[in-house]
Amino acid sequence: MKTGDTIPTLLGVNAQGQEVKSTDFAGKPLIIYFYPKDNTPGCTAEACSLRDGYDSLRNLGYEVIGVSKDSSASHAKFAEKYSLPFTLISDPSTELNQAFGVWQKKKMAGREYMGTVRTTFITDADHRVTHIINKVDTKNAAAQIMKLLAESQQS
Protein backbone atom coordinates (compact mmCIF):
# COMPACT_ATOMS: atom_id res chain seq x y z
CA MET A 1 0.00 0.00 0.00
CA LYS A 2 1.36 3.37 -0.97
CA THR A 3 0.14 6.95 -1.05
CA GLY A 4 -2.76 7.27 -3.50
CA ASP A 5 -3.89 3.63 -3.16
CA THR A 6 -7.44 2.84 -2.05
CA ILE A 7 -7.71 0.57 0.98
CA PRO A 8 -9.50 -2.81 0.69
CA THR A 9 -13.25 -2.95 1.35
CA LEU A 10 -13.09 -5.91 3.74
CA LEU A 11 -10.92 -4.98 6.72
CA GLY A 12 -11.52 -7.92 9.04
CA VAL A 13 -13.34 -8.78 12.26
CA ASN A 14 -13.67 -6.49 15.28
CA ALA A 15 -13.39 -7.28 19.00
CA GLN A 16 -17.08 -8.28 19.02
CA GLY A 17 -16.52 -10.75 16.16
CA GLN A 18 -18.37 -8.62 13.60
CA GLU A 19 -17.10 -8.05 10.07
CA VAL A 20 -15.71 -4.56 9.47
CA LYS A 21 -15.69 -2.95 6.02
CA SER A 22 -14.32 0.38 4.88
CA THR A 23 -17.85 1.15 3.67
CA ASP A 24 -18.92 1.17 7.35
CA PHE A 25 -16.98 4.45 7.50
CA ALA A 26 -18.34 5.94 4.26
CA GLY A 27 -17.35 9.59 3.85
CA LYS A 28 -15.00 9.53 6.85
CA PRO A 29 -11.24 9.78 6.60
CA LEU A 30 -9.47 7.01 8.51
CA ILE A 31 -6.40 6.48 10.64
CA ILE A 32 -5.50 2.79 10.40
CA TYR A 33 -2.64 1.76 12.61
CA PHE A 34 -0.96 -1.64 12.51
CA TYR A 35 0.73 -2.87 15.67
CA PRO A 36 2.44 -6.14 16.62
CA LYS A 37 0.65 -7.33 19.80
CA ASP A 38 -1.95 -6.43 22.42
CA ASN A 39 -0.69 -5.70 25.95
CA THR A 40 2.96 -5.15 25.07
CA PRO A 41 4.64 -1.93 26.24
CA GLY A 42 4.97 -0.14 22.88
CA CYS A 43 1.58 -1.24 21.59
CA THR A 44 -0.13 -0.24 24.82
CA ALA A 45 1.58 3.18 24.77
CA GLU A 46 0.46 3.73 21.18
CA ALA A 47 -3.14 2.64 21.87
CA CYS A 48 -3.35 4.85 24.97
CA SER A 49 -1.93 7.84 23.08
CA LEU A 50 -4.57 7.38 20.38
CA ARG A 51 -7.24 6.94 23.08
CA ASP A 52 -6.16 10.19 24.72
CA GLY A 53 -6.14 12.03 21.38
CA TYR A 54 -9.28 10.33 20.06
CA ASP A 55 -11.64 13.28 20.59
CA SER A 56 -9.23 15.66 18.84
CA LEU A 57 -8.86 13.28 15.88
CA ARG A 58 -12.65 12.82 15.67
CA ASN A 59 -13.11 16.59 15.78
CA LEU A 60 -11.04 16.68 12.58
CA GLY A 61 -13.43 14.07 11.12
CA TYR A 62 -11.16 11.01 11.44
CA GLU A 63 -12.06 7.57 12.70
CA VAL A 64 -9.33 5.40 14.25
CA ILE A 65 -8.88 1.67 13.57
CA GLY A 66 -6.20 -0.53 15.12
CA VAL A 67 -5.09 -3.80 13.49
CA SER A 68 -3.02 -6.71 14.80
CA LYS A 69 -3.04 -10.46 14.35
CA ASP A 70 -4.35 -10.97 17.90
CA SER A 71 -7.74 -12.66 18.30
CA SER A 72 -11.02 -10.79 18.72
CA ALA A 73 -11.12 -12.02 22.33
CA SER A 74 -7.67 -10.57 23.00
CA HIS A 75 -8.75 -7.28 21.41
CA ALA A 76 -11.90 -7.18 23.56
CA LYS A 77 -9.83 -7.59 26.76
CA PHE A 78 -7.23 -5.06 25.57
CA ALA A 79 -9.91 -2.48 24.67
CA GLU A 80 -11.69 -2.97 27.98
CA LYS A 81 -8.51 -2.85 30.09
CA TYR A 82 -7.40 0.46 28.55
CA SER A 83 -10.83 1.98 27.72
CA LEU A 84 -10.08 2.12 24.00
CA PRO A 85 -12.96 3.88 22.21
CA PHE A 86 -12.02 2.85 18.66
CA THR A 87 -12.34 -0.29 16.54
CA LEU A 88 -9.69 -3.00 16.85
CA ILE A 89 -9.50 -5.47 13.97
CA SER A 90 -8.28 -9.03 14.35
CA ASP A 91 -6.14 -10.21 11.42
CA PRO A 92 -4.94 -13.71 12.42
CA SER A 93 -4.41 -14.72 8.77
CA THR A 94 -2.31 -11.54 8.25
CA GLU A 95 -4.30 -10.95 5.05
CA LEU A 96 -4.83 -7.25 5.85
CA ASN A 97 -1.24 -6.89 7.11
CA GLN A 98 -0.07 -8.28 3.77
CA ALA A 99 -2.44 -6.09 1.73
CA PHE A 100 -0.95 -3.02 3.43
CA GLY A 101 2.60 -4.36 3.11
CA VAL A 102 3.36 -4.35 6.84
CA TRP A 103 3.83 -8.14 7.24
CA GLN A 104 7.59 -8.32 6.87
CA LYS A 105 10.73 -10.11 7.95
CA LYS A 106 11.90 -8.80 11.33
CA LYS A 107 14.93 -9.48 13.53
CA MET A 108 15.14 -9.77 17.30
CA ALA A 109 18.02 -11.18 19.32
CA GLY A 110 19.61 -12.48 16.11
CA ARG A 111 16.48 -14.43 15.17
CA GLU A 112 14.57 -13.70 11.95
CA TYR A 113 10.81 -14.06 11.83
CA MET A 114 7.75 -12.66 10.06
CA GLY A 115 5.81 -10.01 11.93
CA THR A 116 3.86 -6.77 11.79
CA VAL A 117 5.95 -3.66 11.22
CA ARG A 118 4.33 -0.86 13.24
CA THR A 119 2.91 1.53 10.63
CA THR A 120 0.11 4.12 10.50
CA PHE A 121 -1.91 4.88 7.36
CA ILE A 122 -4.07 7.98 6.99
CA THR A 123 -6.77 8.11 4.33
CA ASP A 124 -9.04 10.76 2.90
CA ALA A 125 -12.85 10.47 2.98
CA ASP A 126 -12.71 8.28 -0.16
CA HIS A 127 -10.34 5.93 1.69
CA ARG A 128 -7.32 6.70 -0.49
CA VAL A 129 -4.05 6.70 1.44
CA THR A 130 -2.79 10.27 1.94
CA HIS A 131 0.00 9.67 4.48
CA ILE A 132 2.06 6.76 5.79
CA ILE A 133 3.95 6.96 9.08
CA ASN A 134 6.73 4.38 9.18
CA LYS A 135 8.52 5.67 12.27
CA VAL A 136 5.69 5.74 14.82
CA ASP A 137 6.32 7.57 18.10
CA THR A 138 4.34 5.15 20.28
CA LYS A 139 4.09 7.42 23.33
CA ASN A 140 3.01 10.41 21.20
CA ALA A 141 1.20 8.70 18.31
CA ALA A 142 -1.84 11.01 18.39
CA ALA A 143 0.31 14.17 18.56
CA GLN A 144 2.48 12.85 15.71
CA ILE A 145 -0.64 12.36 13.55
CA MET A 146 -2.10 15.77 14.51
CA LYS A 147 1.18 17.49 13.61
CA LEU A 148 1.35 15.71 10.25
CA LEU A 149 -2.24 16.65 9.44
CA ALA A 150 -1.66 20.29 10.46
CA GLU A 151 1.49 20.49 8.31
CA SER A 152 -0.26 18.98 5.28
CA GLN A 153 -3.12 21.50 5.58
CA GLN A 154 -0.62 24.37 5.49
CA SER A 155 1.02 23.19 2.27
- pLDDT truncated to tens, each residue of the chain (155 aa)? 899 999 999 999 999 999 999 999 999 999 999 999 999 999 999 999 999 999 999 999 999 999 999 999 999 999 999 999 999 999 999 999 999 999 999 888 889 999 999 999 999 999 999 999 999 999 999 999 999 998 887 76
In the set 43, 50, 57, 129, the catalytic residue is: 43
- What domains sit in the chain, N to C, each tagged with a CATH number? 10-154 (3.40.30.10)
How many residues would you count in the chain? 155
pTM equals: 0.94
In angstroms, the first-to-last Cα distance of the chain is 23
CA-to-CA distance for 6 and 53, rounded, in angstroms?
Answer: 25
| Active-site residue flag, 43 | yes
Amino acid at 35: Y
